[in-house]
Amino acid sequence: WIFEPFFESASPAFSPNDDFFIFHSRAGRQTPALYRTVGTEREVLRREGNPIEGEMPAFTPDGRVVYRGCVNNACGIVRTNLDGGDPLLLTDKANDTAPAVSPDGKTVAFMSNREGDWDVFTVGIDGQNVRRLTTGNGSDGLPVWSPDGNTLAFVSNRDGEWAIWAMAPDGNNERSEEHTSELQSH
């Protein structure tokens, strides 16, 4: 079943109660906008009558949306209500992207090249306490939380090839997928 035939539609995220999903798309637009499903149709999310422009949406456990976008000409990671109300800029770097909300809804992991290489960062859901978790050579990004919130997985090319890595939410105990598999077999 092809729900959205436009090839630049991406990043679907299911709502907390799994009754619809949101995604971004450039369908008919130069700048991507956020959409939600309504049955077998889609509708653009709006703020003050205008489409919410953004990418890489994710849900908080309480049903708010976090995405890469702009509010009042400042860009970064944004948190808003599903109806577009109460927008809050969580980060202020335009290249911050790929937000992932922790299962408890208190922290957002994201990737940014704000300090040179692409690295994984976190910020509080209130926009406080931006923290860099990964450092070193290579690019790290596309963070994903484990369901229990005790691990962040991410992709990295730090060893010369792309691989999946994992770490604690504070950035400690970084390990590659190969090392993680070895630990689980012991």
Give the C-alpha separation, 155 to 150, whole Å: 17
Would the pLDDT of 185 be above 70? Answer: no
Residue 186 in this model has a pLDDT that exceeds 60: no
CA-based max dimension of the chain = 56
Secondary structure string (H, E, C) spanning 89-151: ECCCCCCCEEEEECCCCCEEEEEEEEECEEEEEEEECCCCCCEECCCCCCCEEEEEECCCCCC
Helix, strand or coil for residue 87? coil
Kindly tell me if the per-residue pLDDT of 38 is higher than 80.
yes
Q: Is there a contact between 156 and 138 (Cβ–Cβ < 8 Å)? A: yes
The reported pLDDT for the residue numbered 137 is 85
For residue 159, what pLDDT is reported? Answer: 87
pLDDT tens for residues 159-173? 889 999 999 999 999
pTM of the predicted protein model: 0.89
Average pLDDT, the chain: 89
The pLDDT confidence band at residue 181, using thresholds 50, 70 and 90, is very low
pLDDT value, residue 180: 47
Q: What is the DSSP string of 4-62?
A: ---TT-EEEEE-TTSS-EEEEE-TT-SS-EEEEEETTEEEE-EETTEE-BEEEEEE-TT
79-128 per-position pLDDT tens digit: 999 999 999 999 999 999 999 999 999 999 999 999 889 999 999 999 99
Among the listed residues 22, 25, 134, 125, the one whose alpha carbon sits nearest the alpha carbon of residue 77: 125
Rounded to whole angstroms, what are the CA distances from 172 to 105, 111, 175, 179?
A: 21, 17, 9, 15
